[in-house]
Amino acid sequence: MKYIRPISAGFSVIKRYRARMTLYIAVAWTFVDSVFYLFRLTYRQPEYALFQEKTVTTIILREANVFFLSMVMAYFLIFLLRDFFGNISLWLKMLLRTIILVLVAITMNFFIHSTYVMLIDKRPIAAAIRSFYERTFESGWLMEKTPEWIILFVLTQLWIEINEKYSPGVFFDILLGRYTQPKDEKRVIMFIDMKDSTSIAEKLGHKDYYKFIRDFIFHISTGIMEYGGRIYQYVGDEIVISWPQTRSNARKAIYALIEARKQLHKHLQDFKSGYDIIPEFKAAIHVGVVTIGEIGVLKRDLVMSGDTMNTAARMRTACNELNQKFIVSKDFIDLVKLSSYQVESLGPIEMKGKNSSVELFALKI
């Protein structure tokens, strides 16, 4: 099986994700602005409205300005303001970001106004500045627009926070009610666990161990997501990942494991100098049917259950017992069609809680 490089080497999965979010936000804001603008043109035309002419040219010019400057504002929000305020409460971060975005929105509207005045009305920049001041601060325009902006910016930030909490893609599944009733799906399941976590925790103490785990999970997750792995759950130092069950995704699971190891190795010196510990991990991969559904009352979550999940968890535990780093099941081998030199049979293994043994293989990567 030939190893394939991650998509767009040098442009990390996190940057690609944030770039997509920037585009989605710009498109969404432009759409919302278009709806409000057409509503105002159709049902009421305030005297301070900028685009008085109802022509295709003015509409295209306005929305092109809105889209471009929405991209700039979304870039501010996603890339520059994401971690700008450090470790303060979420509500305060959202408040400060919203204030900044409102100021940027006023600047954005200055550019829209100036473009219209100079290109459509054919007036000089001085006239554009003067009319912008009159329209913004001497009419009801700013009082009307500010609540709209605040609602839009707050909802956008909530969407970002919720989407990242549930992992990209999961939020929309929950929003659309895909798993309000449990569904059986075929998935590739991977369990990753840090080696010797108990002894590391004793050596570092609670706070340093937390930082150590945070850094470990960040680098491992970055590698996993390079190949489309969806993070299902973090449990302490353990990561549970899934892909829809296809041969292509089964191969991606192996590539993701290799990439996770590479990402960790790139930062071994940081771990050595920061914690005087070199982290290692073990992993198990299995395939099969899992049942996915929402559970909870006041706190709802998306849960995967079934024999496939239980078997994968037991396999991860078996890594220690069998002194192996990476273990895969016979079902996974049959799906991905690995060569004999890439795996080593460990034979049928009895597992706690299972009536029959499971044939396991050591993955040689």
Are the C-beta atoms of 135 and 50 separated by less than 8 Å? yes
What is the CB-side half-sphere exposure of residue 98 using CA atoms within 13 A? 19
What 8-state DSSP symbol labels residue 340? G
Torsion sign, CA atoms 93, 94, 98, 99 = negative
SS3 state of residue 79? helix
pLDDT score, position 18: 83
Q: How far apart are CA 327 and CA 282, in angstroms?
A: 8
Choose among 143, 145, 147, 170: nearest CA to 159.
170
pLDDT score, position 294: 83
Q: How far apart are CA 33 and CA 41, in angstroms?
A: 12
Task: For residue 206, give both structure tokens.
Answer: 């609670």
Are the C-beta atoms of 65 and 33 separated by less than 8 Å? no
Q: How far apart are CA 279 and CA 262, in angstroms?
A: 12
pLDDT score, position 8: 45
Q: Residue with structure tokens 């003015």? A: 58
Task: For residue 81, give both structure tokens.
Answer: 């303001």
Are the C-beta atoms of 120 and 77 separated by less than 8 Å? no
Bridge-based pairing of strands 326-329 and 281-295 is: parallel
Q: How far apart are CA 75 and CA 18, in angstroms?
A: 9
Task: For residue 203, give both structure tokens.
Answer: 């050596």
Q: What is the pLDDT along the chain (365 residues), one digit of tens a residue?
A: 555 555 445 567 777 888 888 999 999 999 988 887 777 777 655 554 555 556 677 777 778 878 888 898 888 888 887 777 767 777 888 888 888 888 888 887 788 778 778 887 788 888 888 888 887 877 777 887 888 888 888 888 888 887 777 666 666 776 777 888 889 999 999 999 999 888 999 999 989 999 999 999 989 988 898 898 888 888 888 999 999 999 999 999 999 999 999 989 999 999 999 999 999 999 999 999 999 988 877 667 778 899 999 999 999 988 988 889 999 999 999 998 877 668 888 988 887 777 788 899 999 88
Query: Phi-psi bin for 3: left (phi > 0), alpha (psi -120 to 50), beta?
Result: beta
pLDDT score, position 241: 93
Domains of the chain: 13-166 (no CATH), 170-363 (3.30.70.1230)
Phi, psi of 237, deg, nearest 5? -95, 10
Cβ-based neighbours of 116, under 8 Å, separated by 6 or more: 50, 51, 58, 61, 62
Cβ-based neighbours of 327, under 8 Å, separated by 6 or more: 282, 283, 284, 285, 315, 316, 318, 319, 346, 360, 361, 362, 363
Are the C-beta atoms of 315 and 360 separated by less than 8 Å? yes
Phi, psi of 322, deg, nearest 5? -100, 0
Task: For residue 52, give both structure tokens.
Answer: 């008085």
Are the C-beta atoms of 217 and 263 separated by less than 8 Å? no
Bridge-based pairing of strands 238-244 and 326-329 is: unpaired
Are the C-beta atoms of 235 and 228 separated by less than 8 Å? no
Task: For residue 331, give both structure tokens.
Answer: 């079902």
Q: How far apart are CA 316 and CA 346, in angstroms?
A: 14
Are the C-beta atoms of 336 and 250 separated by less than 8 Å? yes
Task: For residue 167, give both structure tokens.
Answer: 């992992």
Indicate the Cα dihedral angle 246, 251, 257, 261, nearest 10°.
-160
pLDDT score, position 7: 47
Task: For residue 96, give both structure tokens.
Answer: 């400060």
pLDDT score, position 248: 93
How many other CB atoms sit within 10 Å of the CB of residue 45?
A: 12
Q: How far apart are CA 340 and CA 334, in angstroms?
A: 12
